[in-house]
Chains A and B, each alone.
Chain A
Amino acid sequence: MKAASTISAILVFLTLLLIGADIVVEGAAGLSIGTLTDAVRDGGRAGGLGPIILSTVIVLAGSILFALPLALGGAVLKTELLRHHSRLARGVMGAFEVMVSVPSVAIGLVGWSLFSQWLGLGFSLLSGCLTMTLIIVPIMTVAFIGGFEMVPAGLRMNSLALGVTRWQTFWRQVVPSARPALAAGVTLAIGRVTAETAALMLTSGISTRTPESLGDPGATLAVHVYHMARHVPGGESMAYTTSLALLLICIAVHVALARLKKESAA
């Protein structure tokens, strides 16, 4: 038992080591401070990642902004508006849980078909945002529901008994109390959007030009990595550099969030 489990653990470390080393070795050559801000040149084979990072941030912000009200609504529907433990409420919860598993490629296809073609948005950041919203709403909703349900029943009851309305109770007691779960939901959504490639490639496109509005196309970091690695001849080294940049940004965000969590817990 011990031997087998130790070997497994070693394999896990080895995986990260190999992948990490691969990325660092191949990608470090092209990485500099300028990489994060410069424009893209030579069809992506040279230059920086400034426009790509901007596109990523825009898609991130846009999808979360669109998804937040929907996820909030979904969670409220289940926890406040439907009778607790009714079959309908449990069905709603189950529906959201199953929705989390929908493959993003399929959503990407719907996004392209529906938003880009039928609605005429074409390859655009807006189309990407809307598509990502479809993907992250279930994730956020499930997290929010978990948060709202874990609020101690006493908190609600005391508030209502004191004459505070349900609406006020919700916003002034329930929501603040569920803050960790809300934050977790948003964090999961951020991770999902950052890692998403297929759905965004089909909707927000592969453009490396600095986007000027939501109607412009723009590649996100993950999409850029794939595009450079697969479709652009000679683009492998840039794919690695972009991967490295993405990895570093992920680690930085990871560390920052962990620090925030520690502070708010203290």
Chain B
Amino acid sequence: MATPTIEYVAEERTGESRIGWIALGALGVLAIAMIPGVLIYLLVTGSGVLDRTHLPTLFSTEWYPGEEIFGLVPLVLGTLTTSALGLLIAVPVGLGSVIFFRFYSPASITRLGESTLGVLSGLPSVIFGLFGTVWMVPIFGPSLLVAGVVLAMMILPTFAMLTLAAFRQIPKGTMESGAALGLRREQMIGRLALVVTRPRLIAAAGVSLTRALGEALAVEMVCGNVAAIPDGITAPVRTLTTTLVQEFEYATGAHREALHLVALAVVLLAAIGATLAVRMASKQVSS
């Protein structure tokens, strides 16, 4: 009898394609390498500004590229405050509306609501920025408040759709048990539905947060773009992303390198947010 092992190793069976798997595997590795590649590229290009003269300025509260002072603090603060405000508005409203669609409204209104959310989620962010510029900026001035509201409008559809999907996937048995036990509707929602879907709600909030952290143009149109720590909700702010959008094309030399670090900062923030959300969501599931 021939030795099957040697045959198997020496040649492929017809129909198998080792080259094919290798090619796909190589593509996969390339796909994985892309984002670390991006991070490394940003770090390397921005490293020019990590020298003795500029490094301390990175931690200051002043951003004056003309004098080669690149304080990231007001930018990071701006990013965090606008995103936080956006979440603060979008999560309750989104959750509330989804509770309505899932538990209170007739089916036709629910369908209408879903379509509304679907269309809203497909709109480019500029449209929300335009809305803010025309209707809100004349009243409140370019400010943290308007930026937060615009962000909330943008992330609400995604958050709501993810939340609605989560509510839809609650095992029927859970809700039926609740009803059998005589719980009122409010209790079913509060003590059952919300508890069971909590991990996915957190994940949805995480996704929305990273979207808010990364938004640039819509925020740029309404936030005022002043690189300073805001002294109130109607004060102007600037975020990491709006700095990129406003200054990138026109920057040269050290300014340009510093902007690469700004980009690195926002990528890291978003990555941290995403990792935390994924971690928190899966932790809830296992507990």
Chains A and B in contact, CB within 8 Å: yes
What residues make up the interface of A, taking CB atoms closer than 8 Å to B? 1-2, 4-9, 11-13, 15-16, 18-19, 22-23, 69-78, 80-81, 92, 94-110, 112-114, 134, 137-138, 141, 164-168, 191, 194-198, 202, 221-222, 225-226, 229-230, 239-240, 243, 246-247, 250-251, 254
In the complex, the answer to whether A167 meets B17 with C-beta atoms within 8 Å is yes
Verify if B64 is at the interface (C-beta below 8 Å from A).
no
Known: A2-B104, A101-B274. A77 touches B24 (CB 8 A): yes
In the complex, the answer to whether A98 meets B275 with C-beta atoms within 8 Å is yes
Q: Is there an interface contact between B31 and A74, defined as CB atoms closer than 8 Å?
A: yes
Bound Cα distance A110, B37 (Å): 10
Contact of B245 among A12, A23, A198 (CB under 8 A): A198
Q: Evaluate contact between A164 and B15: CB separation under 8 angstroms.
A: yes
Choice from B28, B95, B103, B244 contacting A8 with Cβ under 8 Å: B95
Q: Does B122 lie at the interface of the complex (its beta carbon under 8 Å from any beta carbon of A)?
A: yes
| B residues near A71, Cβ cutoff 8 Å | 31
Q: In the complex, are the beta carbons of B270 and A102 less than 8 A apart?
A: yes
Check B263 for interface membership: any CB of A closer than 8 A. Answer: yes
Residues of B near any A CB (own CB < 8 A): 13-17, 20-21, 23-32, 34-35, 38, 41-42, 45, 92-97, 99-101, 103-105, 109, 112-113, 116-131, 133-135, 153, 156, 160, 185-186, 189-190, 207, 210-211, 213-217, 221, 241, 244-245, 248-249, 259-260, 263-264, 266-267, 270-271, 273-275, 278
Contact B26 A137 (CB under 8 A): no
Complex interface: chain A residues within 8 A of B30 (CB): 70, 73
From B15, B27, B245, B274, give the contact of A100 (CB < 8 A).
B274
Taking A69-B27, A109-B259, A198-B245 as given, write out 17 further A-B residue pairs in contact, using a Cβ cutoff of 8 Å, ordered by the A residue number.
A5-B104, A9-B109, A15-B120, A16-B116, A70-B28, A70-B34, A73-B27, A73-B28, A73-B29, A76-B28, A77-B28, A78-B28, A103-B210, A113-B41, A222-B124, A247-B123, A251-B119
Q: Are A77 and B271 in contact (CB under 8 A)?
A: no
Residue from the list B26, B189, B259 in contact with A1, Cβ < 8 A: B189
The residue in chain A whose Cβ has the minimal distance to the Cβ of B23 is: A73
The answer on a CB contact under 8 Å between A106 and B263 is yes
Shortest beta-carbon distance from B224 to chain A in Å: 15
Residue of B nearest to A198 (CB): B216
Specify which chain A residues have a CB less than 8 angstroms from the CB of B271 in the assembled complex: 98, 101-102
Known: A73-B27, A106-B266, A107-B38. Is A98-B274 also a contact (CB below 8 A)? yes
Taken together as a complex, chains A and B put the C-alpha atoms of A4 and B104 apart, in Å, by: 11
Q: In angstroms, how far is the closest chain B Cβ from the Cβ of A72?
A: 7
Q: By CB atoms of chain B within 10 A, which of A101, A102, A165 has the most?
A: A101
B residues near A250, Cβ cutoff 8 Å: 119, 122-123
Residue of A nearest to B216 (CB): A105
8 A-B pairs with C-beta separation under 8 A: A72-B27, A76-B21, A99-B35, A102-B214, A167-B15, A197-B217, A198-B244, A250-B123
Contact of B24 among A73, A94, A225 (CB under 8 A): A73
Complex contact B34–A195 (CB within 8 A): no
Please pick, from B45, B156, B185, the residue contacting A113 in the complex, using a CB distance under 8 A.
B45
B124 touches A246 (CB 8 A): yes
CA distance A108 to B259 in the complex (A): 12
CB atoms of B126 and A8 under 8 A apart: no
Rounded to whole angstroms, the CA-CA distance of A240 and B131 in the bound complex is 10
Known: A15-B153, A76-B24, A113-B260. A101 touches B207 (CB 8 A): yes
Q: Do residues B125 and A197 form an inter-chain contact, with CB atoms below 8 A? A: yes
CB < 8 Å neighbour of B126 from A165, A202, A222: A222
